[in-house]
Structure 1
Amino acid sequence: MPDLSDGFAPADADARPLWVLGPDDLKAWRADQPAHVGNWLDKAGFAAQAGRVIVVPSKTGGVHGAVLGLGEAGQRDRHRFLVGGARASLPEGDWQLAGNLDPDAAAEAALGWLLAGYAFGRYAKAPSPAARLVPPTAVDADRIAAIAAGEALTRDLINTPANDMGPAELESAARDLATAFGAGITVTAGDALKDANFPLIHTVGRAAAPHRAPRLIEMTWGDTGPRLTLVGKGVCFDTGGLNLKPGASMGLMKKDMGGAATVLGLARMIMALKLPLRLRVLVPAVENAVGSDAFRPGDILTARDGKTVEINNTDAEGRLVLADALALAAEEASDLTVSMATLTGAARVAVGPDLAPFFCDDDGIAAAFAAGGAAARDPVWRMPFWAPYEQMIEPGIADLDNAPKGGFAGAITAALFLRRFAGDGTRYAHFDIYGWQPQSAPARPKGGVGQGARAILAALPGVLGL
């Protein structure tokens, strides 16, 4: 995992100024600058356009500083991490922010700067920007670095192809994380899943090769405080099973463990920040493979808690492995349980790749997630647990249907399915994330990306009373 914190320079560094300006600030700022600065900007046509970066020379041919445009005030919600996006355009050396940035904007700038240093370099050299930033005095640099490190872990796990990120490798990543922070970890794998009563996890993963056997990974950390349980879907590759996906639909299936990657990244943030809580992380890790022992459409399976599930599509396997993990989570009291999964295409149709939709019955928790997402520049959007659709997941021949026919409300029916296993009275939220940046954007290169983790982290103090 890359060390993104090396993008920060010491507080006493001899740093050049990076002025961050909107069009309304530009005239007054120019009045305080040497004449050659204004002339240079005029020749470049700089008008503080959003994301536009101009490096300004000194009279002696060196670098006087740089100017970054924020764009019109009414348009700024359309742009995230503009300061981070500027990093690659700046010469090597140390920089410090100048301009009228409030503490929230300064925190976004610092986080975006570090995230812009991420590059996935496991298989080919991937240079990161050489410019460093003196962290603004208004921000907690250690907290920003911890958040960036958690995000880097998530991105690395998602970006790694399935041949090097199967269930065993995902377990290894969880063990490394546990070792780094003194967490406990237990793993139940292969046929031992049947004896331990994880029938759905075993059934979904049993067709994979022996070295890619299914498993349930459980990590625990913390001795005091409220209890937080994170459950992440770890489908390390999804062929669709016997309901085989078309080839084009398999192209991104290495990211189908994005829920697991995101909860591990969030767990890293929580542990690095030493939040006063008791953390439990559950990851059902499988490969949904095609083989002689693959489960079939029409099968009826019995989950850990005794509920029966009719299989109408083997490509709706994520909710099955999550069902066993949520049933396990419900066996211990939790002050908040959150599941995260790259679960449905319907969620992408509804909100696109940039928003992380979530489901929650508790208005207070939902409001906290929304506020946390806005503050952390990690956009989320509440979706309904719509009770009238419960009948859509009740096939009659079994308690539940894993893939209701008709195609309507796919994200909602999947969330309703999961809620059946979360435990009565449990404060529960489910995030149906995409986990992928389809096109490069400031501080978000094309590839794996965390969604929802920063929003949850920002919400935890209020939700759990920390």
Structure 2
Amino acid sequence: MTEFADLLKADNGQPARSIQLIEAAELDAWFTAQPERVRALISAQKFHAKPNEYAIVPGEGQSDWSVVAGVAKRDALGSWCLARLAESLPEGSYRLTEGSTGAAALGWLTAQYRFERYRKDEGAAGPRVLLTGDVARIEAIVQQAEAVALVRDLVNTPAADMGPQDLEDAVRQLAQAHGGEVQVTRGDALEQGFPMIHAVGKAADKSFAPRLIEMAWGDPAAPRIAVVGKGICFDSGGLDIKPSSGMRLMKKDMGGAAHAIALARLIIGARLPVRLHLLVPTAENAISGNAFRPGDILRSRQGLTVEIGNTDAEGRLVLGDALTRAGEEKPELIVDFATLTGAARVAVGPDLPALFTNDEALASDIAAAGTAVDDPTWRLPLWDGYYDMLKSDIADMNNAGEGGFAGAVTAALFLQRFVPEGTAWIHLDTFAWRPAARPGRPKGGEALGLRAVFRLLQQRYDGAR
């Protein structure tokens, strides 16, 4: 993983090149005040002070230069306003000429993320170090960058190297580093105790055997929260097989698990005063002679029977058993992340996780939290009237709605049946992938909704501190 702690340092007056931020409305006055040779070079670089634009400003000496960069609002820097600089400037140390780095330090770090497990980027420049006077915020910003990178690393890794055992290893590493307690249910115990997780994963090779991974951390007397992440390491669609175009990115179908593990890491790093229960139901939805079939009836851990209308709607099955297990510990809040439905992507696109919740105050709070940290979500309705779409003639419910309508909503309604009544619950249907690069956010695996939920938890549980 990129060593983000080396890229954000306390400003103690050490040598560094300066970065001056200006808004487009200020450009004319700034330009007029520059010497003629500077004006000529700035004009040649076609600098208009738009966001993500920058230019090199020559100094008096031959090797003396600084940077001028455009921003939307200099007194309210967003998370990504320095990211283009971190991607493009030469190796070295930099500082802002005035003001605080604030939230922009996160984008400076994440812009320098590299996934190099399989190929080194030989053409990449050396590290760009940002000096900041916000010394008290350095640790927290580095931890957030590391959490984002963890999601990216896990999602970017191909399924052959990111199976259920690898997710278990990631949870165990987190637990060992911070005193967490891990419990893993697999084999006969999984079949008996978590039959839907077992059914989804039973067709996979033994090396990809399904399991439920649980980790507990924190003071048992503290408020209990559960974080659940869908860990389908590869989704063929099962017997309702996907076309090759739909299968191409299915290494990312464990993106919910990646978010859940990264959120657990943030909670522990911030020492939030909670009792954390992390649950990762993980399996490969494979095809073999013993794969679960369309029309099968599965009995869930909760006791509800589920008719399989589509084997490609498997994520909600493993989450159903995991949500039931989470509810048994009587948490006051359950949060789940899942790359659950294509319908959510059609509705809100790849950048916005579809948010569902049974708590109006939580809905308002997480919307505000996402806006505050440049990690927006978009709420969709838990519309009870669509429960009829999940009706079955021979079981308590079907796992897939008929007709193709409201696919993200019916998936969330399915999950809600496994959440204890009266327990606050947030479900994020996230894409976990960025199809095109943006400053600070390369193409590939991506954390979407992670920082919004963490901000919500900080406000809810750490406000007094």
Scaled by the length of structure 2, the TM-score of the pair is: 0.94
Secondary structure of 2:102's counterpart equals helix
Equivalent position of 1:4 in the other structure: 4
Which runs of structure 2 are paired with 1:280-359 in the superposition (5 Å)? Answer: 280-359=277-356
- How many residue pairs end up in the alignment? 458
Alpha-carbon distance between aligned partners in 1 of 2:104 and 2:327, rounded to the nearest angstrom: 39
Give structure 1 stretches of 5+ with no counterpart.
none
Partner of 1:440: 437
- Cα 1:123–1:210 shift into 2, 3 Å: same
Shift of 1:44: 2.1
Is the Cα contact below 8 Å between 2:370 and 2:453 reproduced in 1?
A: yes
Measured after TM superposition, the shift of residue 27 of structure 1 is 3.6
CA 1:34–1:270: 2 relative to 1, 3 Å: farther
CA 1:289 to 1:128, structure 2 compared with 1: closer, same or farther past 3 Å?
A: farther
Q: Secondary structure at the match of 1:107?
A: coil
Q: d(CA) in 2 for partners of 1:391 and 1:138?
A: 55
Alpha-carbon offset, residue 396 of structure 1: 3.0
SS of the equivalent of 1:235 reads: strand
In structure 2, the CA distance between the partners of 1:129 and 1:375, relative to structure 1 (3 Å rule), is farther
CA contact 2:38–2:57 (8 Å) conserved in 1: yes
- Aligned partner of 1:133 in structure 2 is 130
- Name the counterpart of 1:82: 81
| Cα 1:408/1:284, change in 2 over 3 Å | same
Aligned pairs (5 A) from 1:195-344 = 195=192, 197-223=193-219, 224-344=221-341
- The one-letter code sitting in structure 2 at the alignment partner of 1:114 is L
Provide the residue aligned with 1:62 in structure 2: 63
Contact 1:87 1:129 in 2 (8 A): no
CA contact (8 A) 1:356 1:380 kept: yes
How many Å separate the matches in 2 of 1:135 and 1:17? 12
Alpha-carbon distance in 1 for matches of 2:131, 2:460: 33
| 1:171 is aligned to 2:145 | no
Is 1:45 the counterpart of 2:39? The answer is no
Q: Secondary structure at the match of 1:262?
A: helix
1:251 to partner: Cα distance: 0.5
Question: Equivalents in 2 of 1:353, 1:144: separation in Å?
Answer: 25
Q: Structure 2 CA distance, aligned partners of 1:69 and 1:401? A: 53
How many angstroms does 1:46 deviate by? 1.3
**1:195-235 deviation digits (Å, cap 9, x = unpaired):** 3x100000100000011100000011111432111000000
Q: What does residue 153 of structure 2 align with?
A: 156
Separation in 2, partners of 1:206, 1:317: 12
Query: Does the Cα contact within 8 Å between 1:9 and 1:94 map onto a contact in 2?
Result: no
What is the CA distance between 1:108 and its match in structure 2?
2.4
The AA in structure 1 aligned to 2:47 is F
3-state SS of 1:134 partner: strand
More deviation in 359-368 or 401-410? 359-368
**Cα distance in structure 1, aligned partners of 2:50 and 2:354:** 31
On the 8 A contact 1:80/1:442 being kept in 2, the answer is no
**Amino acid of the residue matched to residue 94 of structure 1?**
S
8 Å Cα contact 1:110/1:136 also seen in 2:
no
Residue 117 of structure 1 corresponds to: 112
For 1:172, give the aligned amino acid.
Answer: D
Report Cα offsets for 1:160-192 as digits up to 9, x if no partner: 000000011111111111112221111111232
In the alignment, structure 1 residue 457 sits paired with structure 2 residue 458: no
Pairing 1:372–2:369 present: yes
Aligned to 1:362: 359
Superposed CA offset, 1:415-465 (max 9, x none): 000010011111001000000010111111111001111001111133346
Give the residue type in structure 2 aligned to 1:90. L
Matched-pair contact (CA < 8 Å) for 1:326–1:422: yes
* Matched letter for residue 322 of structure 2: A
1:55-75 Cα shifts (integer Å, max 9, x gaps):
2222322232111112589xx
Percentage identity across paired residues of the two chains: 48
The answer on 1:146 being equivalent to 2:147 is no
Task: Decide whether aligned partners of structure 1 residues 400 and 128 sit closer, same or farther in structure 2, where only a CA change above 3 A counts.
Answer: farther
For residues 307-329 of structure 1, give each alpha carbon's deviation from its aligned partner in whole angstroms, at most 9, with x where no partner exists. 01010100000000000000001
Separation of aligned partners in 2, 1:448 and 1:140: 26
What's the secondary structure of 1:249's corresponding residue?
helix
Q: For residues 32 and 39 of structure 2, what CA distance do their matches in structure 1 show?
A: 8
CA distance in 1, matches of 2:48, 2:398: 57
Matched ranges for 1:72-111 at <5 A: 81-99=80-98, 106-111=101-106
Q: Which runs of 4+ in 1 moved over 6 A?
A: none
**Contact (CA 8 Å) 2:79, 2:104: kept in 1 or not?**
no
Question: Whole-Å Cα distance in 2 between the matches of residues 22 and 403 of structure 1?
Answer: 51
| Residues in 1 aligned to 2:365 and 2:446: alpha-carbon distance in whole angstroms | 22
| In structure 2, C-alpha distance between the alignment counterparts of 1:208 and 1:326, rounded to whole Å | 23
Q: TM-score, normalised by structure 1?
A: 0.94
The one-character-per-residue Cα deviations of 1:40-92 (angstroms, maximum 9, x if unpaired) are 2123221102211212222322232111112589xx99x86130121122121
Give yes or no for contact 1:18–1:65 (8 Å, CA) kept in 2: yes
- In the TM superposition, what is the alpha-carbon distance from 1:397 to its structure 2 partner? 1.7
Q: Does 1:399 align with 2:400?
A: no
Amino acid at match of 1:15: A
**Alignment correspondent of 1:16:** 17
Unaligned runs of at least 5 residues, structure 2: none
Query: CA separation in 2, counterparts of 1:356 and 1:30?
Result: 42
1:36–1:59 CA contact under 8 A, matched in 2:
no
Aligned-residue offset at 1:238: 0.3
